DNA sequence: TGGATTTGATGAACTTCATTCATTACGCTC
DNA sequence: GAGCGTAATGAATGAAGTTCATCAAATCCA
């Protein structure tokens, strides 16, 4: 124990500030190496701190990861609802949700990979704050779907939850090669295709795309007939308010 | 070094047999504890072997996991194509693929969880045998979709890969709560709903949903004609069996 | 202002595992 | 049954997460 040379001197920071430093370093190291290959010592070095200090603020390595991802999720949700408020129409809103999800994946592939691989699917996930945030996030889509159903724009026999699963699951599988750094991700194109595919599946086909035009045509022909044979029998029952 | 008491005595098995023992034990321990919490020592004990022995057969812990999952995947694929050959019709074949995937998840949730959490999404996955097996597995679906497209049963503008992603991604998200031991999985029901949802999305709408309405329209036009030329010729041929 | 108290920070020690390796012994062949 | 190839051993190694007794900076208070 050679404490003769120089006594150690360290900077002492308020709790919040130090946590920011640690979380920033953790985010960086986790992003670059993944969870398993990330070492507490590297995170500590990045934060200008010693290993033991980290355990003053976080239960363990995993707790630190969850905190980092939680911050990210919170920032994702922040202006979500507000932005969506500016989008009108079922299809546009659906497309926006899909587009925004794709975009956040493209913007933060590393954190996304961590969430997919390390958090979701682990035992403690359903008790975590991250799970609650995820519910909040996906509930935005659920509400859109419910509204669309109530408005008669969607098939009434749909399982809303299954639609959600297909959308987020489809997105996740679609971005897999991108997340593996083995392919590009065209957000616009994917959003368009996915929206189209989901819509064409869940949108109730309009009663008669051709029948309106046809209806009008027949109407006019019937009127022609009436001119020839003025007072015919009343036959305008299935046209609605005539 | 107290080797006085009793010299150690161990059973010496042929390579293949010992590997089976180890893999069986590994499958069990991995299934119960997950990858991280599974210890080589427990696997070794289960196989009636000492830790070091395992490294005579497998590179490392992860290689052992991959081998276990590989065996499972191989057994899954074994009779897949044969079974599918007995199913006719696009919708039935699609439903069978979805149903079978759901069923294999329900039958082996633990291995499935391992695959989702530990393998798929890791760096070396795309170079692994497991990836090739997965491609082989999903290609069965791809072929069905291509055939359906060639036959004009599916929309020609579809991205086949995206349909695949929506199906397998949708399934994965749907079974998440089951895999987390927090819900049941109704294979039949889910298969039906998913098939329906996907089909209604990707199936080209029958040429004329309005054709019935057209039938009515023609009817009315015929009546118009009758007004003009009262006793017309008999023209009820396209009404089906009259 | 200066001592007491609180709390941030330290870093060495501890623990748990995966992994390695020098050594041992089983089983087969000539 | 001697010798050889290979299966098997188990103690040693090393890396990484976690703990803890100790110290010091900041704050409080008389």
Average pLDDT over residues B168-183: 98
State the pLDDT at residue B223. Answer: 73
Of the listed ranges A168-172, B66-70, B203-207, B211-215, the least confidently predicted one is: B203-207
**Between B36 and B152, residue with greater pLDDT:** B36
Q: Is residue B220 part of a domain?
A: no
Residues of A in contact with B170 (CB under 8 A): 162, 165-166, 169-170
Strand C near-CB residues (< 7 Å), B 34-93: 38-41, 51-52, 55, 60-62
Q: Is residue B64 part of a domain?
A: no
B25/B105 same-domain check: no
Q: What is the token pair recorded at A170?
A: 């489809």
pLDDT (tens digit per residue) in A127-149: 999 999 999 999 999 999 999 98
Average pLDDT over residues B97-113: 98
State the pLDDT at residue A230. Answer: 56
Q: Is residue A235 part of a domain?
A: no
| B6 Cβ contacts chain C strand, under 7 Å | no
Domains held by chain A: number: 2
| pLDDT > 70 in chain B, percent | 81
A236: nearest CA in chain B? Answer: B220
CATH number of B78's domain: 1.10.357.10
Q: What is the mean pLDDT of chain A?
A: 86
Average pLDDT over residues B197-204: 69
pLDDT band, very low/low/confident/very high, at B236 (cuts 50, 70, 90): very low
B83/B176 same-domain check: yes
CB A47 within 8 A of CB A21: yes
State the pLDDT at residue A183. Answer: 97
State the pLDDT at residue B213. Answer: 62
CB A228 within 8 A of CB B228: yes
A53/A129 same-domain check: no
Nearest to B193 among A113, A159, A229 (CB): A159
pLDDT band, very low/low/confident/very high, at A3 (cuts 50, 70, 90): very low
Is the pLDDT confidence value at B224 over 50? yes
A47/A129 same-domain check: no
For helices B61-78 and B129-150, give the axis angle rounded to 10 degrees.
30
Of the listed ranges A18-32, A224-238, B197-211, the least confidently predicted one is: A224-238
**Between A209 and B83, residue with greater pLDDT:** B83
Is the pLDDT confidence value at B215 over 70? no
Q: What is the mean pLDDT of chain B?
A: 86
Q: Is residue B63 part of a domain?
A: no
How many helices (H) and strands (E) are present in chain A, helices listed first?
A: 12, 0
A39/A113 same-domain check: no
Is the pLDDT confidence value at A200 over 50? yes
| pLDDT > 70 in chain A, percent | 81
Q: Is residue B232 part of a domain?
A: no
Average pLDDT over residues A214-238: 60
pLDDT band, very low/low/confident/very high, at A222 (cuts 50, 70, 90): confident
A166 to B170: CB separation less than 8 angstroms, yes or no: yes
Q: Is residue A236 part of a domain?
A: no
State the pLDDT at residue A11. Answer: 83
State the pLDDT at residue A198. Answer: 92
DSSP characters over B45-95: HHTTS-HHHHHHH-SSHHHHHHHHHHHHHHHHHHTHHHHHHT--SHHHHHH
B147/B91 same-domain check: yes
**CA-to-CA dists, residue A133 to A78, A93, A140, A161, B166, angstroms:** 11, 20, 11, 17, 24
A102/A45 same-domain check: no
Q: Is residue A127 part of a domain?
A: yes
pLDDT (tens digit per residue) in A154-171: 888 889 999 999 999 999
Q: Is residue A41 part of a domain?
A: yes
CB B47 within 8 A of CB B21: yes
pLDDT (tens digit per residue) in A5-14: 334 567 889 8
B83/B197 same-domain check: yes
pLDDT (tens digit per residue) in B120-133: 999 999 999 999 99
CATH number of B42's domain: 1.10.10.60
pLDDT (tens digit per residue) in A22-43: 999 999 999 999 999 999 999 9
B108/B168 same-domain check: yes
Is the pLDDT confidence value at B207 over 70? no
State the pLDDT at residue B63. Answer: 97
Largest CA distance in chain A: 119
Q: What is the token pair recorded at A141?
A: 């889509």
Is the pLDDT confidence value at B5 over 60? no
A146/A80 same-domain check: yes
State the pLDDT at residue A83. Answer: 96
d(CA B183, CA A44): 40
How many Cβ atoms from other residues are within 10 Å of residue B195's Cβ? 20
A171 to B170: CB separation less than 8 angstroms, yes or no: no
| Residue A29: domain span | 15-58
pLDDT band, very low/low/confident/very high, at B99 (cuts 50, 70, 90): very high
A21/A141 same-domain check: no
Is the pLDDT confidence value at B39 over 90? yes
| A19 CA: nearest nucleotide by C1' | C8
d(CA A212, CA A103): 39
Give SS3 for A52: helix
d(CA B179, CA A108): 27
Average pLDDT over residues A53-73: 97
B43/B74 same-domain check: no
pLDDT band, very low/low/confident/very high, at A153 (cuts 50, 70, 90): confident
Residues in chain B: 242
- R_g (Cα) of chain B, nearest Å: 29
What's the Å distance between residue A12 CA and nucleotide C4 C1'?
A: 20
């Amino acid at each position: 124990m050679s404490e003769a040379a120089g006594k150690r001197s360290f900077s002492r920071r308020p709790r919040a500030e130090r946590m920011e430093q640690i979380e920033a370093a953790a985010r960086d190291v986790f992003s670059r190496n993944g969870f398993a290959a990330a070492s507490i010592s590297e995170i500590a070095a990045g934060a200008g701190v010693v290993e033991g200090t980290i355990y003053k603020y976080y239960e363990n390595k995993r707790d630190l990861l969850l905190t980092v991802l939680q911050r990210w999720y919170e920032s994702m949700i922040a202006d979500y609802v507000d932005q969506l408020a500016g989008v009108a129409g079922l299809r546009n809103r659906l497309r926006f949700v899909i587009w925004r999800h794709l975009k956040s994946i493209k913007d933060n592939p590393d954190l996304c990979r961590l969430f997919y691989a390390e958090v979701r699917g682990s035992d403690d996930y359903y008790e975590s704050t991250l799970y609650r945030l995820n519910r909040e996030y996906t509930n935005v889509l659920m509400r859109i779907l419910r509204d669309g159903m109530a408005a008669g724009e969607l098939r009434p026999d749909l399982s809303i939850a299954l639609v959600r699963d297909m959308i987020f699951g489809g997105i996740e599988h679609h971005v897999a090669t991108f997340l593996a750094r083995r392919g590009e991700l065209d957000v616009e194109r994917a959003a368009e295709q996915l929206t189209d595919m989901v819509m064409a599946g869940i949108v109730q086909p309009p009663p008669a795309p051709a029948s309106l035009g046809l209806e009008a045509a027949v109407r006019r022909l019937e009127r022609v007939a009436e001119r020839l044979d003025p007072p015919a029998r009343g036959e305008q029952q299935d046209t609605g308010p005539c």
